[in-house]
């Protein structure tokens, strides 16, 4: 088989005009042959209009997951033009001479919507979702207005993907709460990134001394290259929930316990207690080091993936799937706060 990329783009198309040409674009590029689809999912990506598209990351995603990817960006819905600008990139495998039809491996449709097409984007996108395979929407933009039709969205996409590392707690809360009320499942890219360090922490806490320090630390210091974003906020919330800290995200604290957030080139968390210190750092590996007050230290490590990025995170997230532990965390740590 040989692989080729089909590219097609058009600006200022009306919605109906696009729906008419859309089914013909790929067959026309294949001299009339109708390809078989290898797609295993539809992945919608909702992004703010001014967010530049990272085609390299998207291509990496499609290399891992044969998919129909729908990138949705909206201009102001008050714009005078009703319609969309479209860019399509499709990967097709053409059999050599076996008589089989070509295989549509993946297709990525980037759409910038304007006017009423933007205002009613969910109805618009619904028709583009492939049937009988899972459909996820990664919400990579700002939270929507209060009158957003979450009920319609939940009829189109079965799960909402968030990235809590890139959202404030308030934004995360708003999106998670709205989606939950619409009975959508919620998945979190940051939760997937945090699985290896969660396992390291859980493994270390088989030792009661390590567990006692982590349960009742005297002092916690957090080093972060950017004090706007904490390393693994969802994992931090998990620790807070499972160990009963009731601290939420830093900056936070309680009488007698300070959580200190400082600048640090290497992201880390350090927990100090009477029996020793536990330090989690992320550089080439997740490394968890235990320095007891008496006796020798221990360390646990997990190599970071070779190619970090959206594709890796998404692959890890899809492997985890809908995680009951994350659902409990959401209920406890985020949604519970609003009640």
Partner 1 sequence: MMDTVLQENPLKEGLGGRRRPDPFTFVIFGAAGDLAHRKLFPALYNLMVDNWLGTDCRIIGVARRPYDDGEFRREVAQAIEEHSRRKPDPAILNRLMENTRYVTADFNDQDQYQSLREQITGPDFPKNYLFYLATPPAAYPVIAAHLGAVGLAHAESPEHWVRIIVEKPFGHDLESAVALNHQLHQVFDESQIYRIDHYLGKETVQNILVFRFANGIFEPLWTRQYIDNVQITVAESLGVAGRGSYYDHAGALRDMVQNHMLQLVSLIAMEPPVAFEADAVRDEKVKVLRSIRPFSTRDVADYTVRAQYEAGSIDGEMVPGYLDEPDIASDSRTESYVAMRLLIDNWRWAGVPFYLRTGKRLAKRATEIAIQFKTAPHRFFQQTETPELSPNLLTLKIQPDEGISLRFGAKVPGPEIRVRTVNMEFLYGTSFAGAPPEAYERLLLDAMIGDSTLFTRKDEVEAAWTLVSSILHGWQRARGPIPTYESGTWGPEEADTLIQQNGFHWRRP
Under the binding rule (CB under 8 A), the answer on residue 254 touching partner 1 is yes
Q: How far is the CB of 38 from partner 1 (least distance, A)?
A: 4
Q: Please, what's the b/e burial string for 82-121 (b: 16 or more CB within 10 A of its CB; e: otherwise)?
A: bbbbbbbbbbbbeeeeeeeebbbbbbbbbbbbbbebbbbb
Instruction: Please compute, for residue 281, the number of CA atoms within 13 A of its CA located in the half-sphere on the CB side.
Output: 11
Under the binding rule (CB under 8 A), the answer on residue 260 touching partner 1 is no
Q: How far is the CB of 99 from partner 1 (least distance, A)?
A: 11
Under the binding rule (CB under 8 A), the answer on residue 239 touching partner 1 is yes
Using the minimum distance from each CB to partner 1, give the nearer residue, 119 or 243.
243
Size of the chain in residues: 339
Give the count of residues interacting with partner 1 (CB under 8 A): 39
Q: Number of helices (H) and strands (E) in the chain: give both, helices first.
A: 12, 16
Under the binding rule (CB under 8 A), the answer on residue 211 touching partner 1 is yes
Q: How far is the CB of 325 from partner 1 (least distance, A)?
A: 4
Using the minimum distance from each CB to partner 1, give the nearer residue, 142 or 303.
303
- Residue 266 contacts residue 223 (beta carbons within 8 Å): yes
Under the binding rule (CB under 8 A), the answer on residue 216 touching partner 1 is yes
Under the binding rule (CB under 8 A), the answer on residue 257 touching partner 1 is yes
Burial class (CB in 10 A: 0-12, 13-18, 19+), 294: exposed
In the list 17, 19, 322, 325, the residue contacting partner 1 (rule: CB under 8 A) is 325
Q: Which of residues 93-112 bind partner 1 (CB under 8 A)?
A: 93, 103, 105
Could you tell me the sign of the dihedral formed by the alpha carbons of 324, 286, 233, 257, in that order?
A: positive
Q: Which of residues 177-206 bind partner 1 (CB under 8 A)?
A: 196, 198-199, 201-202, 205-206
**Closest C-alpha among 304, 292, 240, 307 to residue 269:** 240
Q: How far is the CB of 183 from partner 1 (least distance, A)?
A: 22
Under the binding rule (CB under 8 A), the answer on residue 32 touching partner 1 is no
In the list 119, 169, 182, 243, the residue contacting partner 1 (rule: CB under 8 A) is 243
Phi, psi of 51 (to 5 degrees): -80, 120
Under the binding rule (CB under 8 A), the answer on residue 6 touching partner 1 is no
Under the binding rule (CB under 8 A), the answer on residue 89 touching partner 1 is no
Angle, vertex CA 173, rays to CA 119 and CA 116, nearest 5: 0
Q: Please, what's the b/e burial string for 241-278 (b: 16 or more CB within 10 A of its CB; e: otherwise)?
A: bbbebebbbbebeeeeeebebeebeebbbbbbbebbbb
Phi, psi of 43 (to 5 degrees): -120, 110
Using the minimum distance from each CB to partner 1, give the nearer residue, 16 or 324.
324
Stretch that binds partner 1, among 11-19, 25-33, 224-232, 301-309 (CB under 8 A): 301-309
DSSP state of 321: -
For the chain, what is the radius of gyration of the CA atoms? Answer: 23
Under the binding rule (CB under 8 A), the answer on residue 57 touching partner 1 is no
Residue 123 CA from chain centroid, whole number: 23
In the list 16, 32, 52, 324, the residue contacting partner 1 (rule: CB under 8 A) is 324
Q: Which of residues 274-293 bind partner 1 (CB under 8 A)?
A: 284
Tokens standing for residue 225: 């290259």
Q: How far is the CB of 328 from partner 1 (least distance, A)?
A: 7
Residues that bind partner 1 (CB under 8 A): 36, 38, 40, 63-66, 93, 103, 105, 196, 198-199, 201-202, 205-206, 211-212, 215-216, 239, 242-246, 254, 257, 284, 301-303, 306, 315, 323-325, 328
């Amino acid at each position: 088989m040989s692989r080729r990329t089909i590219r097609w783009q058009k600006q200022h198309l009306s919605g109906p005009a696009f729906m008419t040409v859309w089914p013909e674009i790929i067959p026309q590029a294949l001299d009339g042959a109708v390809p078989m689809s290898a797609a295993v999912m539809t992945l919608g990506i909702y992004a703010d209009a001014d967010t530049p598209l990272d085609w390299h990351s998207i291509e990496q995603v499609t290399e891992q997951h044969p998919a129909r990817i729908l990138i949705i960006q909206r201009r102001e819905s008050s714009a005078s033009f009703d319609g969309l600008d479209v860019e399509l990139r499709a990967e097709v495998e053409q059999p050599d001479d076996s008589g089989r039809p070509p295989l549509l491996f993946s297709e990525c449709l980037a759409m910038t919507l304007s006017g009423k097409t933007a205002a009613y984007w969910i109805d618009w996108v619904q028709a583009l979702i492939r049937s009988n395979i899972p459909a996820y929407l990664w919400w990579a933009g700002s939270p929507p207005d209060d009158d957003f039709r979450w009920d319609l969205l939940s009829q189109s996409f079965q799960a909402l993907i968030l990235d809590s590392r890139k959202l404030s707690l308030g934004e995360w809360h708003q999106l998670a709460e709205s989606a939950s009320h619409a009975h959508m499942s919620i998945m979190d890219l940051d939760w997937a990134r945090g699985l290896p360090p969660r396992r390291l922490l859980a493994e270390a806490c088989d030792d009661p001394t390590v567990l006692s320090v982590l349960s009742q630390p005297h002092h916690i210091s957090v080093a972060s290259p950017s004090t706007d974003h904490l390393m693994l906020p969802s994992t931090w919330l998990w620790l807070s929930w499972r160990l009963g800290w009731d601290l939420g995200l830093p900056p936070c604290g309680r009488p007698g316990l300070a959580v200190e957030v400082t600048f640090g080139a290497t992201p880390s968390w350090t927990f100090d207690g009477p029996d020793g210190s536990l330090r989690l750092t992320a550089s080439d590996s997740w490394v968890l080091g235990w320095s007891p007050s008496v006796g020798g230290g221990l360390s646990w490590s997990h190599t970071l993936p070779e190619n970090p990025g959206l594709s890796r995170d998404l692959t890890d997230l899809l492997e985890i799937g809908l995680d009951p532990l994350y659902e409990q965390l959401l209920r406890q740590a985020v949604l519970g706060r609003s009640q």
